[in-house]
Amino acid sequence: MEKMFAGDQNGLQGDPRLKAISEAIRVVPHFPKPGIMFQDITTLLLDHKCFKDTVDIFVDRYRDMAISVVAGVEARGFMFGPSVALAIGAKFVPLRKPRKLPGEVISEAYVLEYGTDCLEMHVGAVQPGERALVIDDLVATGGTLSAAIRLLVERVGAEVVECACVVGLREVKGQHRLNGKPLYILVEPRQQTNCSAPSVNGVETCRRDDVYLSAT
């Protein structure tokens, strides 16, 4: 697996948009269980400039890669995937949790840090040979993205060009390596925080303070 951070790439090194995106993400300690430092991107969505910059960076990267499918992982992949798909001229396909899609589906189970889950996709939504981008808000173990890749590649016969996430660890924990597919990440997870920082649109955001523990 080739992992690329936007800030390490030519043209985006020192880009102030990346710092602003990182600082717009709120950290919620001990959610959904003790020891997890949840990276909450809903505060990023409250800042229209940071939200637009996030989408723009992805669009600039993928507009010339002949991608025909943007597959968004439920639920937070739905927040970025459709905008990227529209801008690059691709269709958006939701990869949903069980019993959410009304038609015939194919399913793929996967393991999280704090449980197990499953992704489903409508039969016929993606055709063999289509070039796909998989997008989510965050990668930690890589289990969810690996399941998405298996759905698209092994079950459908599509070509996954790359996976994209807003937040990701330098070192992916666990055994998942995304089936050898490249991974593009905008920012690293926020660290342990205090909450004395200014609010964004009335919602409190947290700034860097101590030590990062984990991510979803």
Q: Give the rounded percent of residues in the chain with a pLDDT score beyond 90.
A: 70
What tens digit of pLDDT does each residue of 24-67 get? 999 999 988 888 889 999 999 999 999 999 999 999 999 999 99
73-82, 87-96, 206-215: least confident range: 206-215
Tokens of 190: 């926020």
pLDDT band with cut points at 50, 70 and 90 for residue 215: very low
pLDDT band with cut points at 50, 70 and 90 for residue 68: very high
Write down the pLDDT at residue 170: 80
The counts of H helices and E strands in the chain are: 5, 14
pLDDT: which is higher, 115 or 67: 67
Is the confidence at residue 189, as pLDDT, over 80?
A: yes
Write down the pLDDT at residue 168: 94
44-48, 74-78, 131-135, 167-171: least confident range: 167-171
- Encode 78-107: b = buried (16+ Cβ within 10 Å), e = exposed: bbbbbbbbebbebbbbbbbeeeebeeebbe
Asked if 139 and 3 count as a contact pair (C-beta separation under 8 A), the reply is no
Asked if 92 and 85 count as a contact pair (C-beta separation under 8 A), the reply is yes
For the chain, domains (ranges, CATH) are 6-187 (3.40.50.2020)
Query: What is the overall mean pLDDT for the chain?
Result: 87
Write down the pLDDT at residue 171: 74
pLDDT: which is higher, 215 or 177: 177
pLDDT: which is higher, 180 or 177: 180
Mean pLDDT confidence for 78-104: 98
Asked if 24 and 200 count as a contact pair (C-beta separation under 8 A), the reply is yes
Is the confidence at residue 214, as pLDDT, over 90?
A: no
Q: Nearest Cα to 7, choosing from 188, 214, 141?
A: 188
Give, as one character, the DSSP assignment of residue 152. Answer: I
Write down the pLDDT at residue 175: 52
Write down the pLDDT at residue 32: 84
Asked if 136 and 77 count as a contact pair (C-beta separation under 8 A), the reply is yes
Tokens of 182: 């490249």
Write down the pLDDT at residue 208: 35
User: What's the pTM value of the predicted model, to 2 decimals?
Assistant: 0.87
